[in-house]
Amino acid sequence: ENLRRSLRTALERGELYLEYQPLIRPPSSTIGFEALLRWRHPDVGIIPPSVFIPIAEADGLMDEIGRWVLEQACRQALKWPSSLTVAVNLSPAQFLSGTLTDTVAQIIDAVGIRADRLELEITETVLLERTIDNIDTLNTLNVLGIRISLDDFGTYYSSLSYLKNFPFDTLKIDQYFIADLETDLKSQTIVRSIINLAHGLGISVTAEGVETSAQARWLIKENCDCLQGNLLGRPLGAEATGDFIRRSP
């Protein structure tokens, strides 16, 4: 309940900030970063988004916070080479708000960033309801040139009809399947099948939570397009992204 009250003022007090985790095309090209929201609470310390985003959603704060995240991430991407993208996670409330496409169009225009440098990540849970509206929303974003990723793929409900009906550019395989890739033949079969399925549909694949070089080698052998995880790079503060880019080929 205290968190709830202080979240209302966190944005104006500058307590929210973004970290950026590198997205790597094998073997080692940086192709972009995923923006990850953090809250530095003056008393409690760093609070992860899994804790405060549900509160923000329940209190109707996520629209404003989400708009701030989008603008912040786009402004940061302008400081990078123009070939690099920035991926932003969308909460269900943002996606279903009915104002998302206007908000996004307005922000990329105000910031002056090319639409195809912005990637929006949504999870399957968002797509469960109001399917026709959701297709409209995604198609509108797509027409603007914005890229759409299906995040945490493989968990939750994973209906193949999503792949048939929604215009995804990228599928992000949940770290749950990557974690035991070295020892679990079922995870290997599932990941290999997801990669082949996506490629057959012209969708690129990102593996999340890559932590070991054995996992990376296996994913590269199976033609995974992009790797993300602590092996490739932990989430970085905004200033550190510049150094990371200069050090990467």
Residues lying near Mn ion in the complex (CB under 5 A): 89, 121, 151
Which of 85, 91, 134, 149 is close enough to bind ligand G by CB under 6 A? 91
For ligand G, how many residues bind (rule: CB under 6 A)? 22
224 contacts ligand G (rule: CB under 6 A): no
Which lies closer to Mn ion via its Cβ, residue 49 or residue 189? 49
Taking the complex as a whole, the smallest distance from the CB of residue 121 to Na ion amounts, in Å, to 7
- How many C-beta neighbours within 10 Å does residue 3 have? 14
Work out whether 22 is an interface residue with ligand G (CB under 6 A).
Answer: no
Nearer Cβ to Mn ion (151/225): 151
Is 6 or 92 the residue whose CB approaches Mn ion more closely? 92
Total residue length of the chain: 249
Q: How far is CA 63 from CA 97, 110, 247, 249, in A?
A: 8, 18, 36, 37
Q: From the CB of residue 79, how many other CB atoms can be counted at a distance below 10 Å?
A: 12
Residue 151 found at the interface with Na ion (CB under 5 A): yes
DSSP 75-106: HHHTTS-TT-EEEEE--HHHHHTS-HHHHHHH
Q: d(Cα 172, Cα 71) in Å, to the nearest integer?
A: 23
Build a one-symbol-per-residue string for 155-174: x at contacts with ligand G by CB under 6 A, - elsewhere.
--------------------
Q: Which stretch binds Na ion (CB under 5 A): 20-28, 60-68, 178-186, 207-215?
A: 207-215
Going from the C-alpha of 61 to that of each of 54, 66, 90, the distances in angstroms are 10, 8, 13
Residue located via tokens 């804790």: 51
Does residue number 152 form part of the binding site for Na ion (CB under 5 A)? yes
d(CA 7, CA 133) in angstroms, rounded, equals 30
Asked if 34 is part of the footprint of Na ion (rule: CB under 5 A), the reply reads no
C-alpha to C-alpha distances, 41 to 14, 68, 174, nearest whole angstrom: 10, 18, 29
Q: Is 69 in the site for ligand G (CB under 6 A)?
A: yes
Nearest-approach distance from CB 2 to Mn ion, in angstroms: 28
Residue 119 as a binder of ligand G (CB under 6 A): the answer is no
Which stretches of the chain bind ligand G, using CB under 6 A?
Answer: 21, 36-37, 48-50, 53, 69, 89-91, 121, 151-152, 175, 208-211, 229-230, 235
